[in-house]
């Protein structure tokens, strides 16, 4: 772990140390952060106030100072006297300073450093190399997929002299970025995995993007690549072919390559043969797809070219597993919330997982439990590891620790009081008592060898095998893509009504609150009360308030949509009974949708004058709904709505003592009419992956899957399903899946109208969809019971399902039954 004094850091980043306190008493720094929400160890943390198009870390300095953070790197003027105990390193560019500091850490160590870049496979190659080599050499690597301008320096910061090999991945999205990452990583060995279209929008050609990527390897002694990639091979030769860099090419088609691999695909694995230094090798890997085999090739090339090959490493190839590069959030037994992160266990990834645990439970009073396996090849002695873990337990306020593994067990006396230890996963399961886990947030953090999926199985609330997987990273990415179209000062309301469009209300709201959205909007008060009871503190707007719930809305600070004089009078009477003052309300204006809303200017004027005079309520915002913002055929009507809204809202705004927020744009409106964003916008379906323009390209958020229950042969002349609608004219293979219209899998998808994705291709539904089951025509496919089926996701798009059903994406998402379990993932 890097340890620096602030004076030393100021020199390393070309900054000036400023403070109202004694500069000689400045803190010792042991951790760095760029996210004010994830700082836990306040006394030894250095906060870098980064500036971006829509964010500015300087605005959080005051809050962080009050929480105890005393060390900051800034690039804006700071009134130092306002923070008498704090220390500020003033620099020209705080991101550049973070990278300079990481480069200084990197320069302290002379063991090999492998840098991996490419369009795909970076994280998988990194993780597989760790799995293959961690018993041979002590490795530090990028946590998760930390490969950006910020992620790389945060990864390199964790280097120490206890390791013997570092593996970092690097990704870029625009020209000029890779040179900065190269200065941070200073690699001795490089791998370029492949070249594809990812982030191509900022490069004029693939060749230009490759030129940028190759800048990562300027300091390398050797560079590994696949010879079949013609453009890669050509440009590597042009860039580095005449120097003293060792270029190591591997191939499956060119026997003159440095490493030539014979690939022999089998049913569920691939046999690989090759010769190295006169010795014949043969191994089996449990993959048959091209991408996985290419990643295996990169691993083999690095292992042999770098001298790490031995019998145990070769045997480990047969045990490689698909990399789960994400945290999974699931409902657990006895009202527990379960976070699965059991594909590896090291101090860096443990810190990230604990940050996620804290973000999910920060507004709730439920205890936090960590179930942790041995941390293998950590580079720490038993006492040092216990000290590091104990520090994290304290920093992230973990209430109890359950340690699993021989090493933890032998050092159990060194850990905090109250912890329990087991020598193996089997011992834990033998002694497992469900009643001991109740109303907790539980983090499972284990190395693969401990097979913590078995623990997850007993802790997870049991559902049938159909699930909706919600990708929180993609949700946040969509939020940021819409935010990028807005002015920095424009507020944003997120629609989480109707179970967050089927995605799950509380979990989505927690993720959005962490992203500091300005408002959440629900349909009815019950939805808002559920969020408040779950600890959500973000302002909440109720779009369809009902009189019987008004007092509960006041109690839970839920702000109503007031759409008529009658509703105003009802809510005002409730406010009088509850003796509140200055309670926020939102006035809905009718501009052409002809649903709820004020259409009379006289009514609006009377309320606009009454509200400030009486003082019980406060007009927080005025808003309206666009009827057809997604259709260019109605753009003239949409612009008429803008004019009506401006005309109706202007007198209301003018008669209030407070600044009134105006909002009319929905998701399609943000994309197509950003000039009318006013003070706030409302984001709904766009957040969940349905965009109106190719330019925005919203990411898929929800993936709906199930498994095959049975596969059977149906003879010619037989029928399938109710009503005998699935007529079989030739023998067919039919797969039965446990999902039906009670799950929200609509009957309109019956009889070939809908399709599913299994093992690389689409297959049609045969016969009528039943309440709990559907039948799929898989004739000619090699599929079997237990195989995964995608109902909606990357291959069967949400818009595909909507088109096949003859409806809109909203109906598909909100129609997915709550009996379908929701699983939340975060990379």
H helix and E strand count, the chain:
26, 42
Sheet strands side by side (includes 710-714): 710-714, 732-737, 774-777
DSSP 738: S
Residues 6+ apart with CB under 8 A from 718: 728
CA distance 133 to 113: 14
Upper half-sphere CA count for residue 788 (Cβ side, 13 Å): 10
* DSSP one-letter string for 238-254: HHHTTSSPEEEEEESS-
Q: Is 396 a catalytic residue?
A: no
d(CA 652, CA 237): 69
Farthest CA pair distance, the chain: 93
Residue 595 assigned to a binding site: yes
**How far, in Å, CA of 480 to CA of 808, rounded?**
24
213 carries an active-site annotation: no
Residue for token pair 């010795």: 279
CB 72, CB 47: distance < 8 Å: yes
CA distance 112 to 306: 10
CB 586 within 8 A of CB 562: yes
Helical H segments across 175-229, by residue range: 177-185, 206-214
Provide the CB-side half-sphere exposure for 745 (13 A, CA): 30
Distance CA 651, CA 670 (A): 25
Rounded (10°) CA dihedral 61, 63, 65, 71: -40
Whole-number Å distance between alpha carbons of 512 and 517:
6
Residue 589's CB is within 10 A of a number of other CB atoms, namely: 25
Lookup: tokens for 216 = 């990562």
Q: Exposure string (b/e) for 108-131, b if CB count within 10 Å is 16 or more?
A: ebeebbbbbbbbbbbbbbbbbbbb
Q: For residue 579, report the phi and psi dihedrals to the nearest 5 degrees.
A: 55, 45
CA distance 759 to 783: 8
Whole-number Å distance between alpha carbons of 272 and 269: 10
**Residue 221, phi then psi, degrees to nearest 5:** -80, -30
- Which among 497, 588, 732, 755 is annotated as catalytic? 497
Q: Which secondary-structure segment (H or E) carries 635? A: helix 635-654
Strand partners, 274: 281
Asked whether the CA dihedral 277, 279, 285, 291 is positive or negative, the reply is positive
Active-site annotation holder among 109, 722, 725, 810: 722
Strand arrangement, sheet containing 702-707: 420-422, 400-404, 368-373, 441-445, 337-341, 327-331, 821-826, 467-471, 702-707, 788-792, 755-758, 761-764
CA distance 124 to 12: 33
- DSSP H helical ranges for 450-555: 453-459, 472-483, 497-501, 505-514, 525-533, 550-555
Alpha carbon distances (Å) from 436 to 406, 608, 652, 722: 23, 56, 57, 46
**How many CB atoms neighbour CB 805 within 10 A?**
18
Give the DSSP letter string of 593-627: S-SSSB--HHHHHHHHHHHHHH-SEEEEEEE---S
Q: Binding residue per annotation — 362?
A: no
Phi-psi region of 491 (alpha: psi -120 to 50; beta: other; left: phi over 0): beta
Known binding positions = 595, 771
Which residues are catalytically annotated? Answer: 497, 722
Q: Which residues are annotated as a binding site for substrate?
A: 595, 771
């Amino acid at each position: 772990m890097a340890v620096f004094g602030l004076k030393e850091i100021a020199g390393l980043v070309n900054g000036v140390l400023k403070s109202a306190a004694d500069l000689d008493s400045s803190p010792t720094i042991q951790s760095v952060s760029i996210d004010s929400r994830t700082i836990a160890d306040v006394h030894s943390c250095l906060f870098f106030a980064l500036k971006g198009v829509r964010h500015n870390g300087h605005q959080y300095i005051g809050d962080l100072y009050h929480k105890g953070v005393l060390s900051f790197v800034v690039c804006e003027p700071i009134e130092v006297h306002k923070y008498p105990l704090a220390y500020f390193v003033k620099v020209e560019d705080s991101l550049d300073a973070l990278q300079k500091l990481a480069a200084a850490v990197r320069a302290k160590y002379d063991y090999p450093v492998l840098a991996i870049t490419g369009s795909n496979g970076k994280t998988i190659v990194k993780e597989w190399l760790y799995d293959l080599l961690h018993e041979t050499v002590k490795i530090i690597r990028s946590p998760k997929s930390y490969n950006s301008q910020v992620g790389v320096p945060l990864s390199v910061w964790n280097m120490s002299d206890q390791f013997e090999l570092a593996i970092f991945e690097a990704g870029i999205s625009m020209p000029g970025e890779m040179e900065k990452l190269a200065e941070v990583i200073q690699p001795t060995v490089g791998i370029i995995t492949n070249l594809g279209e990812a982030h191509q929008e900022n490069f004029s050609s693939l060749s230009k993007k490759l030129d940028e990527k190759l800048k990562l390897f300027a300091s390398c002694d050797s560079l590994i690549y696949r010879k079949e990639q013609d453009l890669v091979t050509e440009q590597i030769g042009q860039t580095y072919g005449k120097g003293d860099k060792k270029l190591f090419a591997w191939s499956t088609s060119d026997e003159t390559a440095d490493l030539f691999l014979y690939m022999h695909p089998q049913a569920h694995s691939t046999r690989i043969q090759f010769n190295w230094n006169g010795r014949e090798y043969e191994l089996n890997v449990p993959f048959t797809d091209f991408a996985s085999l290419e990643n295996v090739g990169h691993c083999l090339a690095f292992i042999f070219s770098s001298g790490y090959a031995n019998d145990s490493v070769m045997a480990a190839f047969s045990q490689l597993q698909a990399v789960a590069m994400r945290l999974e959030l699931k409902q657990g037994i006895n009202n527990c919330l379960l976070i699965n992160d059991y594909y590896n266990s090291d101090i860096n990834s443990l810190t990230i997982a604990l940050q996620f645990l804290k973000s999910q439970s920060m507004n709730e009073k439920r205890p936090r439990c960590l179930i942790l396996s041995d941390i293998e090849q950590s580079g720490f002695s038993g006492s040092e590891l216990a000290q590091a873990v104990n520090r994290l337990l304290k920093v992230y306020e973990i209430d109890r620790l359950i340690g699993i593994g021989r090493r933890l067990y032998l050092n159990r006396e060194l850990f905090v009081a109250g912890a329990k230890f087991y020598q193996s996963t089997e011992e834990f399961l033998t002694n497992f008592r469900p009643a001991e886990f109740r109303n907790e947030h539980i983090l499972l953090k284990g190395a693969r060898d401990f097979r913590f999926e078995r623990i997850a199985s007993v802790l997870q609330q049991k559902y049938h095998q159909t699930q909706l997987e919600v990708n929180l990273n993609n949700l946040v990415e969509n939020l940021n893509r819409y935010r990028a179209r807005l002015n920095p000062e424009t507020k944003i309301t997120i629609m989480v009504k109707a179970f967050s469009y089927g995605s799950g209300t509380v979990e989505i709201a927690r993720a959005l609150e962490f992203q500091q959205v300005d408002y959440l909007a629900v349909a009815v008060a019950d939805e808002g009360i559920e969020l408040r009871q779950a600890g959500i503190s973000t302002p909440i707007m109720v779009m369809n308030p009902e009189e019987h719930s008004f007092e509960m809305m006041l109690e839970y600070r839920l702000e109503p949509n007031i759409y008529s004089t009658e509703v105003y009078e009802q809510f005002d009477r409730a406010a009088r009974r509850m003796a509140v003052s200055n309670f926020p309300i939102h006035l809905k204006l009718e501009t052409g949708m002809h649903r709820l809303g004020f259409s009379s200017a006289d009514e609006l004027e009377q309320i606009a004058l009454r509200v400030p005079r009486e003082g019980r309520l406060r007009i927080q915002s005025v808003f309206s709904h666009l009827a057809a913002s997604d259709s260019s055929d109605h753009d003239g009507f949409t612009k008429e709505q803008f004019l009506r809204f401006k005309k109706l809202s202007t007198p209301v705004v003018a008669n209030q003592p407070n600044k009134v927020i105006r909002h009319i744009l929905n998701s399609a409106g943000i994309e197509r009419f950003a000039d009318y964003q006013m003070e706030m916008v409302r984001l709904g379906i766009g957040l969940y992956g349905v965009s109106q323009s190719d330019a925005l390209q919203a990411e898929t958020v929800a993936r709906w899957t199930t498994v095959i229950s049975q596969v059977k042969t149906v003879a010619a002349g037989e029928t399938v399903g109710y009503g005998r609608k699935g007529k079989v004219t030739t023998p067919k293979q039919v797969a039965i899946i446990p999902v039906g219209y009670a799950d929200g899998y609509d009957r309109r998808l019956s009889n070939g109208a809908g399709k599913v994705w299994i093992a690389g291709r689409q297959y049609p539904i045969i016969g009528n969809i039943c309440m709990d089951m559907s039948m799929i025509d898989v004739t000619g496919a090699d599929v079997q019971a237990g195989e995964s089926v995608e109902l909606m996701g990357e291959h069967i798009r949400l818009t595909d399902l909507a088109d096949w059903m003859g409806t809109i994406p909203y109906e598909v998402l909100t129609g997915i039954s709550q009996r379908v379990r929701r699983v939340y993932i975060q990379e």
